[in-house]
Amino acid sequence: MSETIFSKIIRGEIPCHHVYEDDAVLAFLDVNPLSRGHTLVIPKEVAKTLDQLSDEASAAIGRVLPKIARAVLAATGATSFNVLQNNGADAHQAVFHVHFHIIPKVEGRGLGIGWEPMKVETADLKALREKIARCAAAETQKG
């Protein structure tokens, strides 16, 4: 698994403004924030993208995300925020170690979203549902 700047941050070889740490998770301020309080929450387990993360690391990060979100809201006074999680270069991922962005809406700043829904046929939805549900069941069986 390739080394990233986040591995160095986890090991303490590169400084960060950390706001939370436990055995499995680290959270720290983004060095190029979209808004004041923009925080990154990362698993200590090394995985490039979310689909490669173990169940244990996923559970650990899932437990922490709401706590950090509440802390960011309380500290910044924001009442709205986005959680962003990019996977793959085409999806705007720049650091290939799983990370969740918590981006509060502060002083008009935050995450800008381009959202252009496409038209979809019901038959296509049905076929897709079947296919994804089958794949999800296979994933669940793998354990």
Q: Among all residues, which ones are annotated catalytic?
A: 99
Closest distance to ligand 5GP from the beta carbon of 85 (Å)? 8
Burial class (CB in 10 A: 0-12, 13-18, 19+), 40: buried
Compare residues 55 and 90 and give the one whose CB is closer to ligand 5GP: 90
Cα separations (Å) of 81 from 17, 103, 104, 118, 121? 20, 5, 4, 25, 32
Residue 94 engages ligand 5GP in binding (rule: CB under 6 A):
yes
* 50 forms part of the interface with ligand 5GP (CB under 6 A): no
Q: Is 83 in the site for ligand 5GP (CB under 6 A)?
A: no
> Comparing C-alpha atoms, which of 1, 18, 23, 136 is closest to residue 9?
18
Are the CB atoms for 39 and 30 separated by under 8 Å?
yes
Which range touches ligand 5GP (CB under 6 A), out of 46-54, 61-69, 88-96, 116-124?
Answer: 88-96
To ligand 5GP, the closest distance from the beta carbon of 23 in angstroms equals 21
Q: Does 30 bind ligand 5GP (CB under 6 A)?
A: yes
Residue 109 DSSP one-character state: B
Residue 135 touches ligand 5GP, criterion: CB under 6 A: no
